Amino acid sequence: MSKLEGKVALITGAGSGIGRASAIHMAQAGAAVMCSDIDSQSAEGTVALISEAGGRADGMGLDVTSAQEMREAIKRTISNLGDINVLFNNAGVGGGFGWDQTIAVNLTGVFHGLSIGAPLLAERGGGVIINTASIAGMIALMTPPVDEDAETEADPDAEAGIGAYVAAKHGVVGLTKQFAVNYGGQGVRVNAIAPGFIVTPMTAEFRAEQAGEDFLIDLHPMGRLGQPEEIASVATFLASSDASFINGITLPVDGGYTAR
Ligand code: NAP
């Protein structure tokens, strides 16, 4: 039997990168998937890919910085797809957005999913929450120089953005533990995934120059970057009963990045 047969999953940031790959992977594993994204058109693009392959999905706009929108998305998942068993808090922005926006999306957005989703799943008999953290939730972030010939004056906005990214992702790891402890006894498992650098639009700027890409590759002992599908398969695993005794962990999926 497929790992997620009969399950319903709500995924945030499902219009691109890791979220899109996870929506497709979970649908292939038998789940009905609500694909949500701040950009509803990109979410619908993911729905189309799933539907064309014979899977079941629906799409909607969801800005995770709004608790109200998160509540509505969960409600709509239940009314349109019949249930909710898995919530994947995946939406995020990279380091280029400054302190407030990065914290709002990458930390507060995950908190909204947890604080609204966990009690509701518990009330409905249990479920699974997965958060996308990062290697930047475990250690400091090494990013390539975007232009080595440029003036080397520190850019305070960029520094604030990277600091916010690392702070937000460390926060996601902490929230994952806290909600796992609070809700584990009520049948809700809460875990996080910590990807290394993955080939998605989020890392496109870093990868645009060969020197930038080589810098990133060198950080991974496997000598390459990850693909979104390599995160998606782990999300499906954590969502499935194969992971039935896994609760409160942040699982690095990083080609060995955090091993040294
Ligand atoms: P991505 O391709 O840029 O996908 C992120 C998606 O989230 C985009 O569709 C984006 O929409 C959406 N989004 C942005 N703000 C949102 C909001 N307020 N509410 C709902 N959706 C919003 O990036 P990705 O690499 O797949 O990133 C997915 C997650 O993985 C993020 O949490 C990221 O921090 C994490 N991660 C990525 C990497 C990596 O190397 N790629 C490594 C570690 C962790 P727009 O494009 O319209 O903004």
Q: What is the pLDDT of residues 34-60, one digit of tens each?
A: 999 999 999 999 999 999 999 999 999
What local confidence, expressed as pLDDT, does residue 202 receive?
A: 96
Tell whether 61 is covered by a domain: yes
Residue 144 has pLDDT above 90, yes or no: no
The SS3 call for residue 190 is strand
**Catalytic option among 111, 165, 197, 257:** 165
Residue 148 has pLDDT above 80, yes or no: no
Q: In sequence order, what are the residues at sequence separation of 6 or more whose Cβ sits closer than 8 angstroms to the Cβ of residue 25? A: 229, 232, 233, 235, 236
Cα 58 from Cα 48, distance rounded (Å) = 9
Tell whether 48 is covered by a domain: yes
- Residues 64/105, Cβ–Cβ less than 8 Å: yes
What is the CA(90)–ligand 1 centre distance, in A?
7
Pocket of ligand 1 (CB under 6 A): 12-13, 15-19, 37-39, 42, 62-65, 90-93, 105-106, 109, 132, 134, 195, 197-198, 200-203
Tell whether 260 is covered by a domain: no
pLDDT interval class at 1 (50, 70, 90): low
Summarised one tens digit per residue, pLDDT across range 72-124 is 999 999 999 999 999 999 999 998 899 999 999 999 999 999 999 999 999 99
pTM for the full predicted model:
0.97
What local confidence, expressed as pLDDT, does residue 119 receive?
A: 98
pLDDT interval class at 154 (50, 70, 90): low
* Residue 143, domain extent: 8-251
Tell whether 129 is covered by a domain: yes
Is 165 known to be catalytic? yes
Tell whether 21 is covered by a domain: yes
Tell whether 257 is covered by a domain: no
Cα 71 from Cα 68, distance rounded (Å) = 5
CATH no. for residue 41?
Answer: 3.40.50.720
Tell whether 258 is covered by a domain: no
What is the CA(216)–ligand 1 centre distance, in A?
18
Residue 150 has pLDDT above 70, yes or no: no
Tell whether 100 is covered by a domain: yes
Cα 2 from Cα 245, distance rounded (Å) = 19
* Mean confidence (pLDDT) of the chain: 95
Cα 232 from Cα 9, distance rounded (Å) = 13
Domain count, the chain: 1
